[in-house]
């Protein structure tokens, strides 16, 4: 038997027992915490982008999660509650970009006055928007995750997470 065939035989059952809904909801809660962290860091830095690894990772993960949410909406066989979270995250991302552009437009910053993009502060309203969404998505994702647990979609067995369909 080829080595690759042995690997796929061991991995396939693992993928069959994972509740991707639970994984998505837990991931969304984590990304929500990253959004909250990023918004608080921006506020503490007067809207200027902080230069640290945690902020950069948070920013990248928020964008990656937008793509994952879109993929989940299209391909995943989610029930209604996880779909609501995926739709909410997608809408937050799209409307956040639009809202950010409009807020920046209202600051009357001329392109000739900007030497570096880091010199342009994010408006406080945008940070409030991000913090508000982060709190809502964290609570909703955790509540829906609890509901899936209550429904028996996944369970904890001897301190380990066992996810079932």
- What's the structural domain count of the chain? 1
> Distance (Å, rounded) from C-alpha 62 to C-alpha 13?
30
Is residue 14 a part of any domain in this protein? no
Query: Tens digit of pLDDT for each residue in 55-110?
Result: 999 999 999 999 999 999 998 888 888 999 999 999 999 999 999 888 877 776 66
> Distance (Å, rounded) from C-alpha 153 to C-alpha 149?
6
> Distance (Å, rounded) from C-alpha 38 to C-alpha 160?
31
Domain containing 130 equals: 19-163
Is residue 12 a part of any domain in this protein? no
Q: Model pTM?
A: 0.81
Query: Tens digit of pLDDT for each residue in 46-70?
Result: 888 888 999 999 999 999 999 999 9
Query: Tens digit of pLDDT for each residue in 112-144?
Result: 666 666 677 888 899 999 999 999 999 999 999
> Distance (Å, rounded) from C-alpha 2 to C-alpha 13?
18
Is residue 1 a part of any domain in this protein? no
Is residue 11 a part of any domain in this protein? no
Is residue 84 a part of any domain in this protein? yes
> Distance (Å, rounded) from C-alpha 17 to C-alpha 126?
40
Is residue 6 a part of any domain in this protein? no
Is residue 8 a part of any domain in this protein? no
Would you state the structure tokens that stand for residue 107, as one six-digit string? 């600051």
| 146, 77 contact by CB (below 8 A) | no
Place of tokens 């796929």: 8
Is residue 23 a part of any domain in this protein? yes
DSSP state of 160: E
């Amino acid at each position: 038997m080829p080595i690759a065939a042995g690997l796929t035989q061991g991995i396939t059952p693992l993928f069959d027992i994972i509740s991707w809904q639970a994984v998505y909801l837990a991931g969304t809660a984590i990304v929500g915490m990253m959004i909250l962290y990023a918004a608080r860091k921006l506020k503490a830095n007067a809207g200027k982008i902080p230069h640290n690894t945690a902020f950069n990772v948070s920013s990248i993960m928020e964008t990656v999660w937008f793509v994952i949410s879109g993929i989940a909406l299209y391909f995943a066989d989610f029930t209604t509650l996880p779909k609501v979270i995926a739709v909410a995250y997608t809408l937050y991302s799209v409307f956040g970009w639009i809202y950010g552009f409009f807020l920046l437009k209202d600051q009357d910053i001329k392109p000739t006055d900007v030497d570096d993009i880091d010199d342009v502060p994010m408006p406080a309203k945008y940070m409030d928007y991000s913090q508000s969404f982060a709190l809502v998505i964290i609570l909703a994702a955790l509540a829906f995750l609890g509901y899936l647990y209550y429904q028996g979609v996944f369970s904890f067995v001897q301190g380990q997470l066992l996810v079932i369909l």
